[in-house]
């Protein structure tokens, strides 16, 4: 008879995933929730934190569990009440305003009020290079919420197997999630690159200082990776060896990213990051197609030959994750800034561009995201259907997988940005819950992992009913959400 550990490992092994279209429809519930929150928040002065939790967390939980088979209905259930509230509120507000004003002044005064509000936002952001943008807060927070929910939900029957990580080839929500996590890290990391940008001059002393600084920054995450490995072995927690290897895990991958960035710093300063990302992607694909690397990684017979073979998936996929990280950084130059900088579609810089000095590679945030979304979606479609490349594989983090992650995140960012842009009445009404999660993102991710382990060691997740499973997931999400809110109210921001 198989042990509980073996049964749980089998529960998440040999899976084939689902369709890309379904993944997009389900995960875009987060986008619909953000739109609904903005509409309702723009219609009321006060909104309880409980509603914040329901619209930004529980809707996503429902999408990946109870409504996983019918996500379109959930989209309607979220947006229709929000639109109704917005329209009724807008009608009542205009009606009350018209009653208070003389008949001849009603239309003109309303017009002036709208112009004043929009202009105030424009002026406030004009001289700020790296302002806080609410759509980025929502994008990162929702990504963290989906990730945290999935890492525990995957252990319950209520979570569809097609959403769990595939064995080797295919697509699933959780496969997309780990790549998106890395992409968002790269995007946020570029804030520091822009802030500290200067004309690059190589200096050996400065070079080693950068490596040392990045290694120190990476140390806490690497330690977490080691702690996770030891605790998994000591507590006999279920593990999926073909995911990253025997000793390797996602925390180690995250910790290695800044170290690689430091080692390659001269190259990254001389060649545009987006260009290097494509070069690394093509080299990655060349190794898989033209060498024995693919057979080496997928073979189960060489697993115990050496430390390298024990961790071959984690070590090789690091190339792909680093490439995704670079793509994320390349978006920062036009997504994070409040005004266009010179050639920001390709390069990081600080020089403000006017209409006279503008170039074809200089774009606004909207222009950049539209171009990026169309470009990466087209390239991904061509590469994914090509007979000259391997199929999508999160295990290998190959070229099609990289493009899938980048194309998805560029489109999602565009969606969040357009919501902020075209709902001006709510543009300055940020969700306190989303802001709290964003301010302590990696800590909340760590807490989610710890609570996931605690739940798995406390109950047999394979035997509980769907109702109990959803109840546990609500309590679980309430716990790390409460911690995030508490820390944010105390103005405590723990950066790991």
- Is residue 346 a contact partner of residue 361, using CB atoms and an 8 Å limit? yes
CA distance 145 to 480: 10
Helix axes 441-458, 432-439, angle to 10 degrees: 90
User: What are the residues whose beta carbons fall under 8 Å from the beta carbon of 209, sequence distance 6 or more?
Assistant: none
Give just the sign of the alpha carbon dihedral 381, 382, 386, 391: negative
Secondary structure of 206-222 as H, E, C letters: HHHHHHHHHHHHHHHHH
- Is residue 311 a contact partner of residue 413, using CB atoms and an 8 Å limit? no
- Is residue 264 a contact partner of residue 270, using CB atoms and an 8 Å limit? no
| Tokens (6 digits) for 415 | 């969606």
Q: How many C-beta atoms lie closer than 10 Å to residue 233's C-beta? A: 12
- Is residue 328 a contact partner of residue 190, using CB atoms and an 8 Å limit? yes
- Is residue 462 a contact partner of residue 157, using CB atoms and an 8 Å limit? yes
Question: Per-residue confidence of the chain (496 residues) as pLDDT tens digits?
Answer: 467 778 877 888 878 899 999 999 999 999 999 999 998 887 765 778 999 999 999 999 999 999 999 999 999 999 999 999 888 887 776 666 556 655 554 443 333 333 333 333 333 333 478 898 999 999 999 999 999 999 999 999 999 999 999 999 999 999 999 999 999 999 999 998 998 888 888 889 999 999 999 999 999 999 999 998 888 877 767 778 889 999 999 999 999 999 999 999 999 999 999 999 999 999 999 999 999 999 999 998 999 999 999 999 999 999 999 999 999 999 999 999 988 998 999 998 888 887 766 778 899 999 999 999 999 999 999 999 998 999 999 999 999 999 999 999 999 999 999 999 988 555 456 899 999 999 999 899 999 999 999 999 899 999 999 999 999 999 999 999 999 999 999 999 986 6
Using a CB cutoff of 8 Å and minimum separation of 24, what contacts does 294-300 make? 294/390, 294/396, 297/395, 297/396, 298/168
CA distance 38 to 420: 8
What is the DSSP track for 427-467? TT---HHHHHHHHTHHHHHHHHHHHHHHHHHHS-TTTS-HH
3-state helix, strand, coil in the chain (%, to 5): 70, 0, 30
How big is the chain, counted in residues?
Answer: 496
Give the DSSP letter of residue 377.
H
Give the DSSP letter of residue 165.
P
Q: How many C-beta atoms lie closer than 10 Å to residue 388's C-beta? A: 7
The pair phi, psi for residue 337, each rounded to 5°, is -80, 155
Q: Name the CA dihedral angle for 188, 192, 198, 204, rounded to a multiple of 10 degrees.
A: -110
- Is residue 348 a contact partner of residue 355, using CB atoms and an 8 Å limit? no
Q: Each residue of 48-86: pLDDT tens digit?
A: 899 999 999 999 999 999 999 999 999 999 999 999 988
Q: Name the CA dihedral angle for 166, 169, 170, 175, rounded to a multiple of 10 degrees.
A: 50
The pair phi, psi for residue 339, each rounded to 5°, is -145, 155
pTM of the model: 0.91
In degrees, to the nearest 5, what angle opens at C-alpha 474 toward C-alphas 473 and 478? Answer: 115
CA distance 305 to 313: 14
- Is residue 444 a contact partner of residue 148, using CB atoms and an 8 Å limit? yes
Which has the closest alpha carbon to 132: 448, 455, 434? 434
CA distance 388 to 407: 20
Helix axes 273-290, 312-335, angle to 10 degrees: 150
Which has the closest alpha carbon to 215: 174, 176, 261, 281? 261
| Tokens (6 digits) for 395 | 């295990």
Residue with tokens 């200089």: 362
3-state DSSP assignment of residue 18: strand
- Distance, CA of 134 to chain centre: 15
Report which secondary-structure segment, H or E, holds 226. helix 204-234
Q: How far is CA 127 from CA 169, 339, 346, in A?
A: 48, 8, 22
Q: How far is CA 52 from CA 42, 153, 209, 333, in A?
A: 13, 21, 44, 31
For residue 37, the number of C-alpha atoms closer than 13 Å in the C-beta half-sphere is: 33
The pair phi, psi for residue 394, each rounded to 5°, is -70, -35
| Tokens (6 digits) for 322 | 């680093």
3-state DSSP assignment of residue 192: helix
The pair phi, psi for residue 171, each rounded to 5°, is -130, 145
């Amino acid at each position: 008879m198989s042990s509980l550990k073996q049964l749980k490992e089998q529960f998440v092994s040999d899976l084939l995933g689902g369709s890309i279209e379904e993944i997009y429809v389900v995960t875009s519930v987060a986008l619909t929730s953000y739109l609904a929150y903005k509409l309702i928040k723009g219609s009321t002065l006060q909104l309880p934190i409980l509603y914040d939790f329901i619209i930004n967390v529980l809707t996503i939980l429902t999408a990946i569990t109870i409504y996983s088979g019918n996500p379109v209905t959930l989209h309607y259930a979220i947006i229709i009440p929000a639109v109704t509230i917005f329209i009724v509120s807008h009608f009542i507000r205009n009606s009350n305003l018209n009653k208070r004003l003389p008949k001849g002044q009603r239309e003109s005064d309303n017009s002036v009020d709208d112009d004043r509000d929009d202009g105030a936002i424009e002026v406030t952001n004009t001289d700020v290079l790296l302002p806080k943008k609410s759509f980025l807060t929502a994008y990162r927070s929702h990504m963290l919420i989906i990730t945290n929910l999935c890492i525990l939900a995957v252990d319950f029957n209520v979570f569809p197997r097609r959403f769990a990580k595939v064995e080797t080839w295919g697509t699933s929500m959780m496969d997309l999630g780990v790549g998106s996590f890395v992409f968002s890290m790269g995007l946020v990391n570029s804030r520091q690159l822009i802030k500290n940008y200067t004309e690059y001059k190589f200096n050996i002393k400065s070079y080693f200082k950068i490596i040392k600084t990045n290694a120190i920054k990476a140390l806490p995450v690497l330690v977490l990776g080691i702690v996770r490995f030891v605790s998994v072995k000591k507590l006999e927690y279920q593990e999926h060896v073909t995911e990253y290897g025997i000793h390797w895990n996602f925390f180690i991958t995250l910790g290695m990213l800044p170290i690689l960035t430091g080692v390659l710093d001269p190259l990254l300063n001389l060649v545009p990051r987006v260009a290097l990302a494509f070069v690394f992607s093509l080299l990655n694909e060349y190794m898989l197609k033209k060498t024995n690397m693919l057979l080496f990684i997928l073979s189960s017979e060489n697993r115990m030959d050496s430390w390298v073979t024990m961790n071959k998936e984690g070590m090789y996929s690091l190339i792909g994750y680093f490439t995704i990280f670079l793509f994320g950084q390349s978006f920062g130059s036009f997504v994070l800034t409040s005004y266009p900088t010179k050639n920001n579609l390709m390069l990081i810089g600080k020089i403000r561009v006017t209409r006279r000095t503008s170039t074809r590679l200089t774009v606004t945030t909207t222009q950049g995201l539209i171009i990026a979304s169309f470009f990466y979606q087209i390239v991904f479609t061509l590469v994914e259907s090509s007979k000259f490349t391997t199929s999508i594989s999160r295990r290998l983090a190959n070229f099609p997988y990289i493009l899938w992650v980048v194309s998805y995140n560029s489109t999602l960012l565009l969606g969040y940005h357009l919501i902020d842009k075209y709902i001006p009445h709510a543009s300055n009404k940020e969700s306190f819950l989303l802001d709290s999660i964003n301010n302590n993102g990696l800590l909340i991710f760590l807490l989610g992992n710890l609570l996931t382990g605690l739940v798995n060691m406390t109950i047999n997740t394979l035997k509980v009913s769907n109702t109990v499973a959803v109840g546990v997931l609500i309590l679980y999400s309430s716990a790390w959400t409460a911690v995030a809110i508490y820390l944010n109210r105390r103005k405590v921001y723990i950066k790991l």
